[in-house]
């Protein structure tokens, strides 16, 4: 098949948009933390870009999309991406884009997934241990789960992931990305325990404008995330694009309605969080439902996630930035909504949900996909987190946490309030040596 310049250009542009989501997430999370934790929170996203990108080109792509004939993993070999310049073949069909374009697009999914986890353990995580965790977690959790969900097999459709082969629908990552990250975030919040002063100190976000900037960057990049998953500039991409917009808008409204009724006011933090909840929920469904249904899904997800973020206080786990309430719950809502609202009228490769005469069959498949990924990610992450905590330590000390993780882990602060700055990295290091001498 002759490669399509237009489709290839769209997939490459979408890949760049998805990469932008991770710095956008760094802003979103960074503004939600306390000022003394801002840089560490942002660095957890940036180191994820570095680690996952390197592992992907070495073996990650092969584990996720290699051809071993296994339903559990792609291939336990090197990725060999340098020779992948031919067109993409999947599920017996050829796509007019290079394999390398598909590989770099999927890389950006692999990057943002562990970065999402970081929000659940803000303020208290050793940076080196986090880096090691990311390397191991993507290798044993994300890469295999991506195969389960996204790999539909090679030219003869053999070796498809076990969820894909069973008809579980997930267009852009509700299971592999959001439920996966949300379940892992829950596990790590249990392993690391509560922050010093949790439930006594309000721990309010220190910079709401930065949160809104981050949410805006995520919203923009998400068009690449969802519409780019069509792997071409076509009608499916247009449907996913429209559904992403209206679902996100609906979720903002749904979240703010809950806030207004429950708390008496609608907040800007709620608007930003509602937008992300809508983006999460529409991700798996964006190419399988009508725009009206996408709007309904968004409103429902915004309302449910606004209520779900309070579960951490009921059950006593310190999910710092509501990864569980937004990504785990939002991902489940989105996956299950396919079993209700999906229709083949908009996508012949999808299915008919409950409202379109499909009965409970598709809903059952979606539940299988959502809860199997949840269980696998939670259990493996709990074990991995426990082992790292008991060996090299996962959490900084109480004194370091009180002083501020930015200073103790990175020797920097996000806001230099005592001077005008402008001295570069040398001035930062010199200033820290002066400060250490004064403390001594």
Region of poorest pLDDT, from 45-49, 340-344, 432-436 = 432-436
Q: Do residues 404 and 27 touch, judged by C-beta distance below 8 A?
A: no
Q: How confident is the model at residue 194, as a pLDDT? A: 95
Q: Are 333 and 270 in contact (CB under 8 A)?
A: no
Sequence length of the chain is 440
> What is the full DSSP assignment across 12-31?
HHHHHHHHHHHHHHHHHHHH
Q: Tokens in use for 66?
A: 């290699």
- Site of tokens 């800007």: 268
Place of tokens 């999808």: 350
The pLDDT of residue 429 is 45
Q: Which of 78-92, 107-121, 148-162 has the highest mean pLDDT?
A: 107-121
In contact, 185 and 323? CB cutoff 8 Å: yes
Encoded tokens for 100 = 């390398």
pTM summary value: 0.91
| For range 121-142, the mean pLDDT | 97
Q: What is the DSSP secondary structure assignment for residue 201, as one 8-state letter?
A: B
Q: What residues form DSSP beta bridges with 94?
A: 89
Mean pLDDT of 372-398: 97
153 pLDDT above the threshold of 90: no
Residue 4: pLDDT over 90: no
Query: Which neighbouring-strand residues pair with 87?
Result: 98
What are the Cα distances from residue 312, in Å, to 8, 308, 403? 43, 8, 25
- Quick one: average pLDDT of 213-221? 98
Q: What is the arithmetic mean of pLDDT over 209-220?
A: 97
| CA separation for the pair 321, 174 (Å, rounded) | 19
Q: Specify the residue for token string 């009228």.
A: 345
Q: How does pLDDT run across 287-310, given as a tens digit for each residue?
A: 999 999 999 999 999 999 999 999
Q: What is the mean pLDDT of residues 14-35?
A: 97
Q: Quick check: 87 pLDDT over 90?
A: no
Percent of the chain beyond pLDDT 90?
A: 81
What residues contact residue 201 under an 8 Å CB cut-off, 6+ apart? none
Q: Are strands 87-90 and 93-98 parallel, antiparallel or unpaired?
A: antiparallel
| Burial group, residue 325, by CB count within 10 angstroms (0-12, 13-18, 19+) | buried
CA distances from 408 to 121, 332, 343 (A): 16, 37, 53
Average pLDDT over residues 372-378: 98
pLDDT value, residue 263: 94
- Res 218: pLDDT: 98
Is 80 exceeded by the pLDDT of residue 86?
no
């Amino acid at each position: 098949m002759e490669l399509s310049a237009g489709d290839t250009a769209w997939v490459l542009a979408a890949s760049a948009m998805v990469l932008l989501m991770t710095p956008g997430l760094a802003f979103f999370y960074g503004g939600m933390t306390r000022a003394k934790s801002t840089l560490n929170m942002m660095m957890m996203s940036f180191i994820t870009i570095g680690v996952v990108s390197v592992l992907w080109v070495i073996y990650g792509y092969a584990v996720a999309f290699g051809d071993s004939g296994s339903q559990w993993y792609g291939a336990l070999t090197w990725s060999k991406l340098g020779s992948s310049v031919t067109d993409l073949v999947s599920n017996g069909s050829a796509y007019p884009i290079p394999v390398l374009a598909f590989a770099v697009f999927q890389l950006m999914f692999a990057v943002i997934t562990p970065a999402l986890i970081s929000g659940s353990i803000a303020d208290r995580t050793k940076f080196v241990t986090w880096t090691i965790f990311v390397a191991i977690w993507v290798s044993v959790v994300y890469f295999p789960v991506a195969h389960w969900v996204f790999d539909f097999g090679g030219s003869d459709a053999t070796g498809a992931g076990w969820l894909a082969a069973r008809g579980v629908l997930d267009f852009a990552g509700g299971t592999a990305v959001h439920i996966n990250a949300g379940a892992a975030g829950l596990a790590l919040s249990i392993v690391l325990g509560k922050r010093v002063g949790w439930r006594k100190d309000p721990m309010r976000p220190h910079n709401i404008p930065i949160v809104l900037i981050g949410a805006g960057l995520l919203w923009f990049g998400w068009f690449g995330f969802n519409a780019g998953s069509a792997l071409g500039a076509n009608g499916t991409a247009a449907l996913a694009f429209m559904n992403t917009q209206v679902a996100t808008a609906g979720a903002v409204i749904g979240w703010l309605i809950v806030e207004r009724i429950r708390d008496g006011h609608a907040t800007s933090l709620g608007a930003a969080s509602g937008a992300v909840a809508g983006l999460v929920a529409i991700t798996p469904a964006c190419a399988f439902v009508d725009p009206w249904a996408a709007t309904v899904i968004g409103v429902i997800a915004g309302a449910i996630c606004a209520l779900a973020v309070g579960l951490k206080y009921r059950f006593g786990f310190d999910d710092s930035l509501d990864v569980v309430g937004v990504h785990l719950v939002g991902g489940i809502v989105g996956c299950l909504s396919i079993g209700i609202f999906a229709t083949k009228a908009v996508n012949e490769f999808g299915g008919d949900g409950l409202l379109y005469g499909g009965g409970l069959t598709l809903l059952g498949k979606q539940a299988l996909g959502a809860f199997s990924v949840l269980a696998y990610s939670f259990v493996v992450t709990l074990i991995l987190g426990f082992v790292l905590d008991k060996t090299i330590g996962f959490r900084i000390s109480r004194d370091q946490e009180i002083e501020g993780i930015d200073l103790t882990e990175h020797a920097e602060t996000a806001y230099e309030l005592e001077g005008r700055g402008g001295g570069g990295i040398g001035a930062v290091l010199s200033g820290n040596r002066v400060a250490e001498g004064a403390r001594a």
